[in-house]
Amino acid sequence: MSPAFDVIVIGLGAIGSAAARELARRGARVLGIDRWAPPHAMGSTHGETRIIREIYFEDPLYVPLLQRAYTLWETLEAECGERLFTPCGGLMIGAPESALIRGTRESAARYGLPAQEFDARTLASRFPQFELPAHFVALLDPRAGYLDPERAVAAQLAGARAAGAAIHTDERVLSWARDGDGIRVTTERGRYHAAQVIIAAGAWTRALIAPTRALPLTGERQTLVWFDAGAARDRFAADRFPIWICEFEDGQAIYGFPDQPRGWKAAVHHAGGPIDDPDTIERAVTAADLARVRGGVARLFSWVAHAPVNEAAICSYTDTPDLHFLIDRLPEEPRVLVTSACSGHGFKFAGAIGELQAQLILGETPTFDPAPFRLARFGASAR
């Protein structure tokens, strides 16, 4: 019996919804399945804003992928008729020899991107909202801004449906296995048969792959806080305040956004503690969570030390050991493409990764070489 679907996509957050849309637009018979009803607050794709920036400090290899992502976000905005991206510029802040500043300079130099550099005194005159240590510098990425994650996922799913994809929500996947000339996916509601499968299930990816191999993925709990800027709120509007990331010399990294309807959002990066089981993650924000974020952010904005909290939420990262993405077929089951594990910096790439997944699944020549994101780099630890 021929498979009923060409592709089943398991997980419909940022990455899975983008893959479903790109595949369906290419004429593939697609079934997308999510345990909840995306956009939802159970995984990694929620919280009102996500940073997008072109001058990528993590590694210059991401810059071409980012440039493609910018184009695809514009395409999606035109398709859905909604604003998904707000440009406001972005500041990378730290000591001159910090990894953040060195990486930003390297990406800017390699691709000839404009990155205006400020010392602390000059930045204070341009953006007086920041309170930098005297020896810190800042690099301005003029193309940076933020995306609306909930609207973006909804738009990608709407595009997938419009192109003919079947989208099943509130349906938990229990297992998958080789079945004849395809893959059988079993859920709480039934069984489905597809020629190929994409697993983009975030923190649940490791459990879905476990019967086949042990992936070196770790979950990480992340706290997001929206502070009340009070009478100073206008100073943090998007037309006068950028997105920002700051790395301190003790390794702590913090980041934040212009003021939003829910408040002035900020967080501490990679500091929320491990997630042993995503089904039992503590979703209530604790006093310790708030204190960690407040204390970190107050290092750059002293008013935060006593600011009221409008709202706080928990989301999850799924990290690889080197914090680079994972996009690869399982060697022992090449009909299954495992993707994402975006390590806390992947949302901005969703459209470009969705396109890359579709190209790999359908045998097209990929726009970008996926070699840096393959399982082989983990060696025996991935077996």
> Looking at the annotation, which residues are catalytic?
46, 49-50, 265, 269, 315, 348
Show contacts of 322-327: CB within 8 Å, 24+ apart. Answer: 322/377, 323/58, 324/58, 324/59, 324/372, 324/373, 325/349, 325/353, 325/372, 325/373, 326/215, 326/217, 326/373, 326/375, 327/353, 327/356, 327/357, 327/360, 327/370, 327/373, 327/374
